[in-house]
Chains A and B, each alone.
Chain A
Amino acid sequence: MSLLQQIKEKDLLKAPSNALQKEAMSTFLAKGIPSRKHEEWKYFSFKNTFEQELVWADNLNSQPPINTQLHAIQANRLVFINGKLASQYSQLLDQIPGLIVSSIAEASTNHSNLLNAYFGKLAATTNESLNALNTAFDPQGSFVYVPQGAICKHPFFIQHITAATEQASFSQIRNLWVIEANAQAHFIESYESIGEKLSLTNVVSEIAVAENAVVNAYKLQQQQSAAQLNHYTQINQAAHSNVKQITISISGAIIRNNLHFKLNGTAANCVLHGLYVTDKKRLVDNHTRVDHVSPHCTSDEKYKGILLDESTAVFNGKIQVHLDAQKTAAYQRNQNILLSDHATIYTKPQLEIFADDVKCTHGATIGRLDEKSLFYLRSRGIPENVAKSMLLKAYAKDITDLIEEPELTQLISQFIEDNI
């Protein structure tokens, strides 16, 4: 049975759902999977994937061995396999009164009021049918609540693993993180998969950042070659808050990111940087949107791509400066290096400015590795492939330098070294 068919049946079979789920389901059924006719889905569609016979991951009972390389990072750790919390890999290091680190399922029992105050309130569902689909079923994933003024010493490392070892699989993940006023927290997210079978992982993250809070979030997407990932992230920022989100997409068949920032309070600042490396026939699509709702906010966006073989990348960056958002400063750059004549990049900045006293710049570049630099390195006895990876690491450096986790930076350099 096709995945789409299963979704419909599963909806009928499950326990009477709450109002949020009901509404989400009807939105999903009304809108369907976005096709390539949809303005925001011009370059590919998940439609075909939904026609495949994928098994719902919660029917799979596998506990495969997982990659623990990043467990070397001293962190508050939550590991999810097919959406289920794997407590044997999880740990809590920071003992802070009021800090909650748990699965969403657990939070819905123990902290339902807190959860319901935010859940589904940030990420839009009306025009986002895949978000609606995610919202229509019981959520699985992480819940982190950082109370007011808490300075978390260790990062929160959240590892999501989709297992598709024996059967093609589908899973849905939800993350809800609330960082209260004056608190500081760092997050590392890793999206991985095991197995060579087709998989689709549909993720919705909601991140609420209160006044004056500081959040650094590093997202690493490194799935197997038949894995597809759809990740929608909504980050809402209150006044004087600072968020840095780095998105690193290095492997997987298809990665689609929607990263949306809403700068709701004055003088909020966000940094959204990304690095994508695509090879073979893979595709990475980054759709970003920054809503400057309040005055005196800044957004600093930079995405860099390295494209090989017959791969495709999409960058679509929308910056919307609302009427009241005077003194906005918004920067956006997208840079690409094409290492093959058969790789394709679609890049499109979209600036919609309704305030008059703003500073916005944007730019996109597409180029190749600098021949002169390559020759210089080779003329010193450095083999071509090593020279290339040195230059690519140098190119990626302004993104990777922002990651204040050496293990993670090391992993990314290693990836570039091994794959190029």
Chain B
Amino acid sequence: MLRIENLHAGIENKNILNGINLTIRPGEVHAIMGPNGAGKSTLSSVLAGKNEYTVSQGKVEFDGKDLLDMSPEDRAREGLFLAFQYPVEIPGVSNTNFLKTAVNEQRKYRGLAPMEATDFLKFMREKMELVEMDKSLTSRSLNEGFSGGEKKRNEIFQMAMLAPKLAILDETDSGLDIDALRLVSNGVNKLRSKDNAFVVITHYQRLLDYIVPDFVHVLYKGKIVKSGTAELAKELEQKGYDWIKTEVDTQNV
């Protein structure tokens, strides 16, 4: 579904990603872990198409298409979704209107007619229940004044509405209370199928107890330096990153 080959990217004269290789097949869940500043969010942003970053080398194939050649909106309409680590607040744009536009623009891209207002509301209510999102949030401006946890829940709610093929969750678990964490994880698990895939970026093993990954990768200094199964996450939880850092840094000397 997604094939990243030797991806190098950065800003101006700073390299942040230094040769990422990663292949994701339908039905898989990949966890990406790694110390602060390793480049996890940069990787998500580059995949989603943020133009702040320049790709200097490498390629990314999404369902056989050249992902890096597409506009951010086309990537989304091809089925890519990024749950942001820091969702922005957009005053004056209502949550409902935003979602309706997004859903209908994606339908349009796929040659479907826009959803009827009543169908849309029903669909929205259904998905809201999935993440137990408070009704009052949908009538407010997009993320404006939402608490940290509410913003994260709203990301998952949007994901449920848009039903992407590949969803990247960038630290969606940070800032969630224990109940919300379970809820969001259940939401993700309910959306899991043999046709879609997830990339879960997290610092905490706890999330991976709920969303059990098929693979765990460690990103360090813009490279995937270790890959393994769910066991790797448990090992990291116990030992921290130092042993990996030392391993990598001594190799590079």
User: By the criterion CB–CB under 8 Å, are B93 and A383 in contact?
Assistant: no
Residues of A within 8 A of B102 (CB): 377, 380-382
Tier of interface size on chain A: 20 to 34
- Contact A375 B72, CB 8 Å, known A380-B162, A381-B105: yes
Residue of B nearest to A385 (CB): B73
> Are A376's CB and B76's CB within 8 A?
no
Q: Which residues of B contact A387 (CB under 8 A)?
A: 73
Whether B90 sits at the interface, judged by CB under 8 Å, is yes
Cβ-defined contact, B82 with A379, below 8 A: yes
A interface, over-half SS: helix
> Given contacts A375-B72, A378-B71, are A391 and B93 in contact (CB under 8 A)?
yes
Determine the chain B residues whose CB is within 8 A of the CB of A370 once the complex forms: 88
Give the chain A neighbours of B72 by CB distance below 8 A: 375, 378-379
Among residues of A, the one whose C-beta sits closest to the C-beta of B142 is: A376
Instruction: Count B-side interface residues using an 8 Å CB cutoff.
Output: 30
Distance to closest chain A CB from B104 (angstroms): 9
CA distance A370 to B92 in the complex (A): 13
**Docked pose: A58 CA to B73 CA in angstroms:** 53
B90-111 with Cβ < 8 A to chain A: 90-93, 97-98, 101-102, 105-106, 109
Q: Please tell me if A74 contacts chain B, counting CB pairs below 8 Å.
A: no
Is the beta-carbon distance between B92 and A383 smaller than 8 angstroms? no
Q: Is B158 an interface residue (CB 8 A)?
A: yes
Q: Which of A383, A391, A398 contacts B90 (CB 8 A)?
A: A391
**Known contacts being A378-B72, A379-B82, A380-B158, is A390 close to B101, with CB within 8 Å?**
yes
Residue of A nearest to B48 (CB): A379
Chain A residue with the shortest CB-CB distance to B77: A381
Which residues of chain A have C-beta atoms less than 8 A from B105's C-beta?
A: 381-383, 386
B 60-80 to A, binary, CB cutoff 8 A, 1 in contact else 0? 000000000001110111000
Instruction: Say whether B76 contacts A381, CB under 8 Å.
Output: yes
C-alpha gap A408/B182 in the complex (Å): 47
- Does chain B have a CB within 8 A of A373? yes
A37 within 8 A of B: no
* Chain A 394-420 per-residue mask, 1 if CB under 8 angstroms from chain B, else 0: 110110000000000000000000000
List residues of chain B with CB within 8 A of the CB of A393: 92-93
Contact in complex: B88, A381 (CB < 8 Å): no
In the complex, B49 has a CB within 8 A of chain A = yes
A102 to B28, CA, bound (A): 75
A373 to B72, CA, bound (A): 13
Given the known inter-chain contacts A373-B90, A376-B88, A391-B90, please indicate yes or no for A381 contacting B98, CB distance below 8 A.
no
Q: Does B87 contact A (CB under 8 A)?
A: yes
Q: What's the least CB distance linking B9 to chain A, in Å?
A: 16
Distance to closest chain A CB from B65 (angstroms): 15
Q: State which residues 105-155 of A face B: CB under 8 Å.
A: none
Q: Return A302 CB to nearest CB of chain B, in Å.
A: 14
Chain B residue numbers with a CB within 8 Å of A397 are: 92
The interface residues of chain B lying within 8 Å CB-to-CB of A386 are 101, 105
Q: Tell me the bound Cα distance from A378 to B51 in angstroms.
A: 12
Q: How far is the CA of A371 from the CA of B49 in the complex (A)?
A: 13
For residue A14, CB closer than 8 A to chain B, the reply is no
Give the chain B neighbours of A51 by CB distance below 8 A.
none
Q: From A371, A375, A379, A395, name the one whose CB has the most chain B CB atoms within 10 angstroms.
A: A379
A376 pairs with B87, CB closer than 8 A: yes
| B50 proximal to A (CB < 8 A) | yes
Of the A-B pairs whose beta carbons lie under 8 Å apart in the complex, a sample of 19, sorted by A's number, is A372-B88, A375-B50, A376-B87, A376-B88, A377-B93, A378-B49, A378-B71, A378-B73, A378-B76, A379-B76, A380-B158, A381-B106, A381-B162, A382-B101, A390-B101, A391-B93, A394-B90, A394-B92, A394-B141
**9 new A-B contacts at CB < 8 Å, known A382-B105, A383-B73, A390-B101:** A371-B52, A378-B71, A378-B73, A379-B76, A381-B106, A381-B109, A382-B102, A384-B73, A394-B141
| Residue ranges of A at the interface with B (Cβ–Cβ < 8 Å) | 370-373, 375-384, 386-387, 390-391, 393-395, 397-398
What are the 4 tightest A-B residue pairs by CB atom distance, in nearest-first order? A394-B92, A381-B76, A380-B102, A378-B72
